[in-house]
Structure 1
Amino acid sequence: MSSNSSSPGNSPSPGSSEKGNSASASTNKQKEKARVSRTSLILWHAHQNDSAAVRKLLEEDRSLVQARDYDNRTPLHVASLHGWVDVAKTLIEFGADVNAQDRWKNTPLADAEGAKKYNMVELLKSYGGLSFGQTGSHFEPKPVPPPLPNKCDWEIEPSELDFSNSAIIGKGSFGEILKACWRGTPVAIKRILPSLSDDRLVIQDFRHEVNLLVKLRHPNIVQFLGAVTEKKPLMLITEFLRGGDLHKYLKEKGALSPSTAVNFAMDIARGMAYLHNEPNVIIHRDLKPRNVLLVNSSADHLKVGDFGLSKLIKVQNSHDVYKMTGETGSYRYMAPEVFKHRKYDKKVDVFSFGMILYEMLEGEPPLSHFEPYEAAKYVAEGRRPICRAKGYIPELRDLTERCWDADMNLRPSFLEILKKLEKIKETLPTDHHWSLFNP
């Protein structure tokens, strides 16, 4: 930069060096944020079988072909698991490592074989792909004996958990959530109260949550690491996210700029679109700011968590509706059909998302002048919060109103929401915090 150049008779002014260093540090920080965002994008598009979007990202930045998620999985791992051949071909064209290994030492070919995606197996082998890892065959020349009864590879021995510097980060009627350490890594631990560890229903719900979490793997979903199910107290271990929850963040920051709100909303929508993917639909049923977590204090990446009330439903028909427990979840973000104990489907999560979008733009919870139960009753009567914030541009107001439509069939899917948010994002002026996230 010219401000840092010096020559005889033209020495830099005092402090200019420090300013240059500060500007450089700021630029590096923004570049790092942009990289994190693009990593999430390429993993998302690989998951969605969108080879055109994957190609566009790689043309802008070839290094994204080696992007890694929390489990060290590359976009090629994601494509291989789902059998998305066109996406895999695009990634290989841009130099993807066909033998990259994830956290479990699995290669893309091992994933494809495990998922019985035979066209993908053929493709990867033609490019020199090898099969090794826990689900591969390279290290398993002999048949693997079945696991011991009730033993799972995610079962954690309580002695591996270090509570010496633990801190309570959440409490509920079931127990508490603590920040502790597992094998030297900070983790979040949901610990069931010893007095409830023999309660049949509590054990049933706990095992249900574990069985649900073990199947989930997505950049915008809190990552399950393991559980203690054979000893008391029962414990569920997930990654620890340093940024806290969205509820706390909004309490401190107030209303967000439209640009930041849209970026936050896109991360939530990506996670929810993954959960709602048919035929195995997971309805969260308690989507609210407290259950949306920020990866770090820079708030450059969000994840959906807490699946204690979620339900996994095998969908036979995309219009299936389910009769499930009424009044499940948190009143302030609750869809009217749930409050009224009527039949409902995955669109209850879309309603809750609309309420979260409202809160991000308004800077306060929906219907904050009501007690939670009264707020749910007010909404069930057909009324809605009033959009007052300047950030409520017409497109965002329209999207919010569609999300909380009284007729759940008229609410958009999360894939539709994502497309709408992407269009809105293109029209918004970027604020400083997110400036490099908008190529």
Structure 2
Amino acid sequence: MALCFLHGCQPSVIHRDLKPGNLLLTAEGHLKVSDFGLSKIFDANSSDGTYRMTGVTGTLRYMAPEVMRSEAYTEKVDVYSYAFVLWFMCTGERPLMGKVQQDFLDAATRHFDLRPDLEEISYKPLAALMASAWHGIADQRPTAAELVARLRAMQLPNNPKEKACKKRSGAKSCSIS
């Protein structure tokens, strides 16, 4: 996974704007991360392991709450965004479509968890992975390497017709195989 590479660099790189629009699919079916315009080198040598960067940087719909609150943050902001991208990939819909900018900002400042509905995700191991990755407390989120390990360990259903998400009207089919 690209986040493992970025976060594993010395020093690590935080993308800060991970969203479906910044993911490209090659003709061979390989996913590529693009648009590194907001990316930053993460200074892990700072006194408390965090690095103060510009707040409210990226796309609100996929932005971690600590970024919205202009708090110090780590590469876990990309893990948070990844969970929203994964939800989008499973459902075919942008997360939290009915929400406006103020809803996202209010939720962040009040420490209220504003997340998409995991009931849409039929494959429960994937739903659990998303829930842990978009946890409101950054330290509780897995690392990118842990995400990859959990994805690799998932047992795919034997039935190739089983879907990762519930079919919604107007949503594209989303097979997990």
**TM band (smaller chain):** 0.7 to 0.9
Aligned to 2:34: 305
Asked if residue 330 in structure 1 is aligned to residue 59 in structure 2, the reply is yes
Asked if residue 285 in structure 1 is aligned to residue 16 in structure 2, the reply is yes
Asked if residue 341 in structure 1 is aligned to residue 75 in structure 2, the reply is no
Aligned to 1:200: none
* Cα offsets for 1:37-65 (capped at 9, x unmatched): xxxxxxxxxxxxxxxxxxxxxxxxxxxxx
From the superposition, tell whether residues 292 and 431 of structure 1 become closer, same or farther in structure 2 (CA, over 3 Å): farther
1:32-431 correspondence to structure 2 within 5 Å = 270-296=1-27, 300-316=29-45, 320-371=49-100, 373-377=101-105, 379-380=107-108, 381-389=112-120, 391-424=121-154, 426-429=155-158, 431=160
Deviation of 1:363 (Å): 1.8
- Rounded to whole Å, the distance in 2 between the matches of 1:413 and 1:324 is 20
Runs of 4+ more than 4 Å apart:
none
CA contact (8 A) 1:367 1:375 kept: no
* Cα offsets for 1:214-259 (capped at 9, x unmatched): xxxxxxxxxxxxxxxxxxxxxxxxxxxxxxxxxxxxxxxxxxxxxx
Q: What is the DSSP-based 3-state SS (H/G/I as helix, E as strand, rest coil) of the residue aligned with 1:303?
A: strand
- Rounded to whole Å, the distance in 2 between the matches of 1:368 and 1:430 is 31
Question: Looking at CA atoms only, which structure, 1 or 2, has the larger radius of gyration?
Answer: 1
Deviation of 1:423 (Å): 1.2
CA contact (8 A) 2:42 2:75 kept: no
- Rounded to whole Å, the distance in 2 between the matches of 1:388 and 1:406 is 19
TM-score by length of 2: 0.81
Q: What is the DSSP-based 3-state SS (H/G/I as helix, E as strand, rest coil) of the residue aligned with 2:13?
A: strand
Q: How many residues align?
A: 159
Higher relative strand content: 1
Deviation of 1:431 (Å): 4.4
From the superposition, tell whether residues 422 and 378 of structure 1 become closer, same or farther in structure 2 (CA, over 3 Å): farther
Deviation of 1:321 (Å): 0.7
Deviation of 1:280 (Å): 1.2
- Rounded to whole Å, the distance in 2 between the matches of 1:274 and 1:429 is 31
Runs of at least 5 residues in structure 2 that lack an aligned partner in the other structure: 162-176
CA contact (8 A) 2:44 2:50 kept: no
Deviation of 1:427 (Å): 2.7
- What is the letter of the counterpart of residue 309 of structure 1? L
- Percent identity between matched residues is 36
* Cα offsets for 1:51-82 (capped at 9, x unmatched): xxxxxxxxxxxxxxxxxxxxxxxxxxxxxxxx
- What is the letter of the counterpart of residue 98 of structure 2? H
CA contact (8 A) 2:15 2:39 kept: yes
CA contact (8 A) 1:353 1:403 kept: yes
CA contact (8 A) 2:51 2:72 kept: yes
- Rounded to whole Å, the distance in 2 between the matches of 1:419 and 1:341 is 30
Q: What is the DSSP-based 3-state SS (H/G/I as helix, E as strand, rest coil) of the residue aligned with 1:419?
A: helix
CA contact (8 A) 1:287 1:353 kept: yes
- What is the letter of the counterpart of residue 22 of structure 2? N
- Rounded to whole Å, the distance in 1 between the matches of 2:117 and 2:137 is 19
CA contact (8 A) 1:279 1:314 kept: no
- What is the letter of the counterpart of residue 339 of structure 1? M
- Rounded to whole Å, the distance in 2 between the matches of 1:430 and 1:290 is 31
Runs of at least 5 residues in structure 1 that lack an aligned partner in the other structure: 1-269, 433-437
- Rounded to whole Å, the distance in 2 between the matches of 1:303 and 1:277 is 17
Q: What is the DSSP-based 3-state SS (H/G/I as helix, E as strand, rest coil) of the residue aligned with 1:276?
A: helix
- What is the letter of the counterpart of residue 407 of structure 1? I
Q: What is the DSSP-based 3-state SS (H/G/I as helix, E as strand, rest coil) of the residue aligned with 1:328?
A: coil
